[in-house]
């Protein structure tokens, strides 16, 4: 019985340690690569710009996916953009821009995902409702 208890405690400890190290890796990854969506509103348009920041000292090749959705009285509009870019060490890259006519009470939703070797390394989203 004592031996069984020791084995169970060992497995529990290993499981906690693995989860802890994975979380440390994931948090480190988010510091190395960062994406953001910049929103600019003028009189009759709203523009969303996807940005990627490489905070490492090496070139990195990434894939981005930008999805923008506008929902309003006049109807819905979807815009999907994707591509591959190479970001310089400690460099920032403008990935993509999408603009919509700005209409009262319309809802705008934008999501940006950054992938490296088919794994998400950074993501951001932005929501806006016109008044």
Q: Give the domain ranges of the chain.
A: 32-129
User: Who has greater pLDDT, 68 or 23?
Assistant: 68
Fold of 32-129: Immunoglobulin-like (2.60.40)
Each residue's pLDDT tens digit, 44-58: 899 999 999 999 999
Q: Tokens representing 82?
A: 């994707």
Handedness of CA 128, 50, 83, 121 (dihedral sign): negative
**24-28, 32-36, 89-93, 108-112: lowest mean pLDDT where?**
24-28
Q: If you average pLDDT over residues 31-37, what whole number do you get?
A: 94
User: Residue 63 in contact with residue 47, Cβ under 8 Å?
Assistant: no
- Sequence-distant (6+) residues with CB within 8 A of 86 are 59, 60, 61, 62
User: Who has greater pLDDT, 95 or 27?
Assistant: 95
Q: Tokens representing 89?
A: 């060490």
Which pTM was predicted? 0.75
Strands (DSSP E) contained in 1-131 are 33-41, 45-54, 60-72, 75-87, 92-101, 107-116, 119-129
What pLDDT, on a 0 to 100 scale, did the predictor assign at position 13? 47
Q: Tokens representing 128?
A: 């806006």
| Phi-psi map region of 105: left, alpha, beta (phi>0 left; psi -120 to 50 alpha) | left
Question: Cα separation of 19 and 31, whole Å?
Answer: 19
Is the pLDDT reported for residue 95 higher than 60?
yes
What pLDDT, on a 0 to 100 scale, did the predictor assign at position 7? 57
């Amino acid at each position: 019985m004592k031996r069984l208890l020791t084995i169970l405690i060992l497995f529990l400890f290993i499981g906690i340690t693995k989860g802890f190290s994975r979380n440390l890796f994931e948090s480190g990854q988010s510091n190395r690569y960062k994406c953001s969506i910049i929103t600019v509103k003028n009189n009759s348009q709203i523009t969303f710009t996807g940005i990627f920041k490489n905070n490492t000292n090496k070139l990195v090749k990434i894939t981005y996916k930008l999805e923008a959705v506008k929902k309003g009285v006049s109807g819905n509009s979807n815009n999907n953009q994707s591509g591959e870019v190479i970001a310089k060490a400690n460099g920032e890259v403008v990935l993509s821009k999408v603009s919509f006519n700005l209409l009262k009470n319309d809802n705008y939703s934008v999501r940006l995902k950054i992938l490296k070797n088919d794994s998400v390394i950074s993501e951001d989203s932005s929501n806006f409702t016109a008044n």
